[in-house]
Amino acid sequence: MGYALLAGWLPGERMVKAHIVEPVVALRERAEAIGATASVDISGIPPGFDPAAIVFAVKPQHLCDLLPAYLRFAQDGAFFLSVAAGIEIAAMADVVGTDVPIVRCMPNMAAAVGAGMLVCCANVMTSKQQRHLAERLLSPAGKVVFIDDEALMHTVTAVSGSGPAYVFHFLECLERAGTAGGLPDALARDLVLQTIYGAGLLARKSSDDPAVLRRQVTSPNGTTAAALAVLMGEGGLDTLLARTVEAARVRSVELGAH
């Protein structure tokens, strides 16, 4: 996630000046190759470097241990932007204090190709300008929205955070169904990938509700109607996805309590 953001900031006119703290040599060199300065630890940050934001793209279990070292930048006006999954704003504030502006972001896997869904919430110390900067920093990775109720992050995680895995599994299943019907493997995959891509793009660009689009492609007594009778029947996709999202939401709550 960190590199996906960095790659969106630095090409062209360079939206930001970035310094990366990265202990892994190969990752540090990769950041430098696209125009960032980098160091193995915080002591290598250049003198006079005055960041407006400190972005923490680290494993969740390491986040709270790292925060105190960067507190001096917050005291100089920077805000903290975390993309570490599952770590609540209160947990960060317990470490650095409630007067530090903090933005928490839940991205998803598609951020790697600039098509992610990034949902953010901020504490009361975060200014309107800082929220706007957070949106600018995150937007190269996809669509950015802010929510006010952090408790909704559990459902966000269940829908968009885990959601790509649901789609990938649907792709697997539809591809297997195609090969079971006699399609060559390569053709089945191509049909499935382009169909899902096209349907998603159409839904994104259309002003119509997905239910309207579904009805538009469904002729009475036709092939699509026969298929939807299965998907929309008792115990079908609607019920299954409701159970799926709830299972992920409950697990997110459980993990957040530890």
Q: Where are the domains of the chain?
A: 2-151, 163-256
Q: How many other CB atoms are found less than 10 A from the CB of residue 143?
A: 15
Mean pLDDT of the chain: 92
H-type alpha helices, 157-256 = 163-180, 185-205, 210-217, 223-231, 237-256
Please write the tens of the pLDDT for every residue from 171-214: 999 999 999 999 999 999 999 999 999 999 999 999 999 999 99
For residue 53, what pLDDT is reported? 94
Q: What is the C-alpha to C-alpha distance for residues 63 and 54, in angstroms, rounded to an integer?
A: 12
What fold does the segment set 163-256 form as a domain? ProC C-terminal domain-like fold (1.10.3730)
Please write the tens of the pLDDT for every residue from 96-117: 999 999 999 999 999 989 999 9
DSSP string, 72-139: HHHHTT-EEEE--TT--HHHHHHHH-TTS-EEEEE--GGGGGT-EEEEEEE-TTS-HHHHHHHHHHHG
pTM: 0.88
11 pLDDT tier (thresholds 50, 70, 90): low
Q: Quick one: 2-151 is in which CATH superfamily?
A: NAD(P)-binding Rossmann-like Domain (3.40.50.720)
Length of the chain: 258
- Comparing CA positions, the residue from 92, 98, 28, 19 lying closest to residue 53 is 19
